[in-house]
Amino acid sequence: MFLKNVKPYIRKKISIRTRLTLFYSLAAFIIMTVITLFLYWESVNVLYKADYQFLADEAESIQHILQNNKLNSNALAQAVIDVPAHHGNSIYRHYVRILDENNNTIIETPGSPKIPLVDPARNPPSAHHFKKSYRWYNTHDTSYLLVQTPVTLPKGKSGIMLITLDISYQHAVISDRKFLIIALLISTLCSLCLGFLAAQRGMRSLYTLTDTVKKITVTSLNQRTDPKSLPKELSALGVAFNQMLDRIESSFDRLKQFSSDLAHELRIPINNLIGETEITLSRAHSPEEYQQVLMSNLEEYHRISQLIENILFLSRAENPQMEIQKTSIYVQDEISIVCEYYEAMADEKNISVTCQGKAALRANSIMFRRMISNLLSNALKYTPDNGWIRFTITSQDNRVKIILSDNGIGISQEHLPKLFDRFYRVDSARSQLSGGIGLGLAIVKSIVDLHQGVISISSMPDQGTVIQLVFPA
């Protein structure tokens, strides 16, 4: 529960730079602490190993003297008295005491501490290694490490040898941990400083990216970041940001063009209405003339109404949250219904409209009919008298393909990529011929997209046009 409350606070209140610094410092502190403790433990271990080895060497040396009959008492006195006296001021200050079988002292180093013996029966020494015979003895101000082992005295008598090493200096060195604590504190402070510098340097690229973003306005959408100058972790962000700017710039250009085209499309009928109204009001007219003016105005009102309706449909169709209700429809039946509606227009120009093939798919029938209606009305407008229009329907691999072909006036190749743009027209003559507003194919494209379909157009001037629609079944 505590972590759940702390994590949101850390994310909101503590900057990434501070978090990186703290994480780096914590990691460095943990690593340095582990290394320091390991080195401390290893140093202590080495120090004690040296003490053990020293005691073992001294014990073996004295045993060798006692077992060698050729060596006299001077050699023993030198090993027990002179050698310890020589190490009296060193870290290997030690004492030797040799006792007989009755625990009476035979020879000992002057100043030897009175350390009680251990019953060999209760703690038998090892014959192979003295380490099993090592033990500690502490007084109020001194610590000792000692080894007790049986020895063979001259004339075959048995005895006990006790070698005591004063390890007070080693204990003092080991117990003094102030240097380690100071070293850890200094290293922690250094890691904080280095962590801050590393985080600051690592965040520099992000600050540069932020400055670049701040400079981008509506009038400078063409600016881009350089992903190559960013580190690997931010290069993908730079690429994604450039792609986002490309989409925004494209959408903004389309919006400006759309606003301009919309103003142009609305200006024409409104100017016509204003002009006719001003002329009508300039003088008196007969009822028939007023009626003609009203009929002309009504045509312009219908034009404006159609424009608004189409724009609203495109606006709703481009809403990513829009959901359409689909039902299973028979493609040939839906196309036949639309063809019957345009039968009079086709008969007027003596154009043959046919439909071949059968297929079924899931689609919104109203939108599907509107799509076919827009395509067929365009084909009828741009197909000359005595021409033909053909629908071909095929179904394969869970895909339904609808091909609309005609022998109309055709379209030049440079216009094909822009045919689905709003208000786009090939040329003024074609616009006057059609009387349209340039939104028909844009609506068709929106309906195809809503059904997860694909539309493509191929055309040649004076040879006709082929429109291919592919939908999932």
pLDDT-derived band at 411, boundaries 50, 70, 90: confident
Same domain, 255 and 174: no
Classify residue 398 as exposed, middle or buried by CB count within 10 Å of its CB (0-12, 13-18, 19+): exposed
Same domain, 172 and 39: yes
Q: Which helix (H) or strand (E) holds 166?
A: strand 158-166
Same domain, 42 and 102: yes
CATH of the domain at 346: 3.30.565.10
Same domain, 7 and 133: yes
Same domain, 124 and 23: yes
Q: Based on the structure, what is the number of domains in the chain?
A: 3
- pLDDT for the residue numbered 119: 66
- pLDDT for the residue numbered 13: 63
- pLDDT for the residue numbered 329: 92
Q: Name the region of 402 (left: φ>0; alpha: ψ -120 to 50; beta: rest).
A: beta
Would you say the pTM of this structure is higher than 0.75?
no
Nearest Cα neighbor of 268 from 428, 79, 108 is 428
- pLDDT for the residue numbered 435: 54
Block residue for tokens 């039902």 = 327
The residue among 154, 178, 202 that closes a domain is: 202
pLDDT per position as a tens digit, 427-458: 644 454 455 567 778 888 888 988 889 999 99
Q: Which residues contact 30 (CB under 8 A, 6 or more apart)?
A: none
Block residue for tokens 């035979």 = 106
d(CA 135, CA 145): 6
The residue among 319, 348, 369 that closes a domain is: 319
Same domain, 354 and 468: yes
Tokens of 115: 């350390």
What angle, rounded to 10 degrees, do the helices at 16-67 and 178-202 form?
150
Same domain, 371 and 315: no
Please state which of the ranges 76-90, 146-160, 408-422 shows the lowest mean pLDDT.
Answer: 76-90
The residue among 269, 293, 319 that closes a domain is: 319
329 domain-assigned: yes
Same domain, 90 and 170: yes
- pLDDT for the residue numbered 154: 75
pLDDT per position as a tens digit, 181-223: 888 888 888 888 888 887 777 777 777 777 877 877 777 777 7
Residue-by-residue DSSP string for 64-75: HHHH-TTS-HHH
Question: Could you list the residue range(s) of the whole structural domain that residue 380 is in?
Answer: 323-472
207 domain-assigned: no
Same domain, 127 and 45: yes
Same domain, 240 and 183: no
Q: Which amino acid would we find at residue 337?
A: I
pLDDT per position as a tens digit, 315-334: 666 665 667 888 999 999 99
The β-bridge relationship of strands 360-363 and 327-330 is antiparallel
208 domain-assigned: no
99 domain-assigned: yes
Same domain, 94 and 28: yes
160 domain-assigned: yes
Block residue for tokens 């006036």 = 409
210 domain-assigned: no
Tokens of 402: 């609808």
Provide Rg for the chain, Cα atoms: 51
211 domain-assigned: no
- pLDDT for the residue numbered 402: 94
62 domain-assigned: yes
Same domain, 333 and 306: no
Query: Residue 132 above 50 pLDDT?
Result: no
Query: Residue 303 above 80 pLDDT?
Result: no
